[in-house]
Amino acid sequence: MNDRIEALILRVDSYKEADGLLQVLSKEQGRMTILAKGILKGNSKNAASVQPITHSHMVLDIKDPISLLHSATIIDFFRPIKENITNLAVASLIGDIALQVSTSHQPDDYLYQITKESLTALVHYPPLLVGCIYVSLILKEMGITPMVDGCVVCDDTKVSAISISEGGFVCLRCAKNVPSKTYDANFSRLFRYTVKAELQHLSALAKQGEYTLELLSVFVDFFKDYTSIPLKSWEFLRKL
Ligand SMILES: [Zn+2]
């Protein structure tokens, strides 16, 4: 059979001598595992088109749990991502999260779209900003958007800290009673703007201030608090 898919290759593990096991998010089938034979050999014609963080068309035999690749053609190699370590680390975080929240052989148009657009955005915008908005959109999709319109405990509009376990901003009084961390006004403002934003607001967000690893870590902590699955790519990124 010659099935055709459009996919984002998010992870590649070596398998046996020279084969690759690809973890992809496809437009047509959601998350898939694909065996790419011989791609680690020097003369493989498919090698470039099945590198991690690549957008490709593929011809394959679709099978569950492992599909078999025949050929792949690059749509976007995302070269500027691969040439910069921070870009690549954020792209790996996006890929890790996409693989965790996707379902095998079940298409999810929205997840595919925001993952593809976020990888494309890494070429044009500060990587930590793109990381923040991607994780924020995932939280929204999972129904765990942080509460940023007032204290999540008592509704007081004067907030001073963020509580991961309570799910958003807390006021000075409530901060004493729940696990929370205090941030300055600028940090809190960027956090609130990002929670409210969609991908089309990236250029407006980029003008609001500097998106730091600390801000991204708040978004990642909300995600980890809910899923409790380790994110290897995040451990790598925070050590950069
Ligand atoms: Zn309160």
pLDDT in tens, 157-209: 999 999 999 999 999 999 999 999 999 999 999 999 999 999 999 999 999 99
CA of 186 to the centre of ligand 1 (A): 20
Chain-centroid distance of CA 62 in Å reads 25
Contacts of 199 (CB under 8 A, 6+ apart): 114, 117, 118, 121, 133, 137
Spatial contact of 148 and 218, defined as CB atoms under 8 Å apart: no
Domains and CATH numbers, the chain: 3-77 (2.40.50.140), 84-238 (1.20.1440.120)
- Burial class of residue 2 (count of CB atoms within 10 Å of its CB; 0-12, 13-18, 19+): exposed
User: How far does the centroid of ligand 1 lie from the alpha carbon of residue 226, in Å?
Assistant: 22
* Cis peptide upstream of residue 65 (ω within 30 degrees of 0): yes
Q: How far is the CA of 157 from the centre of ligand 1 (A)?
A: 8
Say how many Å lie between the CA of residue 171 and the centre of ligand 1. 4
How many A from CA of 180 to the centre of ligand 1?
12
Average pLDDT over the chain reads 96
Contact (CB, 8 A) for 145 and 198? no
Per-residue tokens: 8: 């984002």
Reported as half-sphere exposure (CB side, CA atoms, 13 A), residue 127 has a value of 18
Whether 115 has a pLDDT exceeding 90, the answer reads: yes
Q: 184 CA to middle of ligand 1, Å? A: 17
* CB contact burial 202-216 (16+ within 10 A = b; e otherwise): beebeeeeebeeebb
Task: Report CA(153)–ligand 1 centroid distance (Å).
Answer: 5
For the record, the structure tokens of 222 come out as 């909300």
**Measured distance CA(181)–CA(87) in Å, rounded:** 28
Ligand 1 mean position, distance from CA 131 (Å): 29
* C-alpha of residue 168 to centroid of ligand 1, in Å: 11
Ligand 1 mean position, distance from CA 147 (Å):
12
Query: What's the maximum distance between 2 C-alpha atoms anywhere in the chain?
Result: 65
pLDDT at 168: 98
> How far apart (Å, rounded) are the C-alpha atoms in residues 205 and 190?
8
pLDDT confidence tier of residue 10, bands split at 50, 70 and 90: very high
Question: Could you tell me if 162 and 181 are in contact, meaning their C-beta atoms sit under 8 angstroms apart?
Answer: yes
What is d(CA 116, CA 109) in angstroms, rounded to the nearest whole number?
Answer: 11
The pLDDT-based confidence of 229 (bands split at 50, 70, 90) is: confident
- Which residue, among 189, 195, 192, has the nearest Cα to 209 in the 3D structure? 189
Percentages of the chain per state (helix, strand, coil), in multiples of 5: 40, 25, 35
Q: Model pTM? A: 0.96
Q: 190, 208 in Cβ contact below 8 A?
A: yes
Query: Cα of 172 to ligand 1 centre, how many Å?
Result: 7
> For residues 167 and 147, is the Cβ–Cβ distance under 8 A?
yes
- Sequence-distant (6+) residues with CB within 8 A of 150 are 156, 157, 159, 169, 171
CB distance 128 to 216 below 8 Å: yes
Please give the distance, rounded to the nearest whole angstrom, from the Cα atom of residue 7 to the centre of ligand 1: 45
Q: What is the pLDDT averaged over residues 104-119?
A: 98
149 CA to middle of ligand 1, Å?
12
- Phi and psi at residue 233, to the nearest 5°: -60, -30
Q: What number is the average pLDDT over the span 49-62?
A: 96
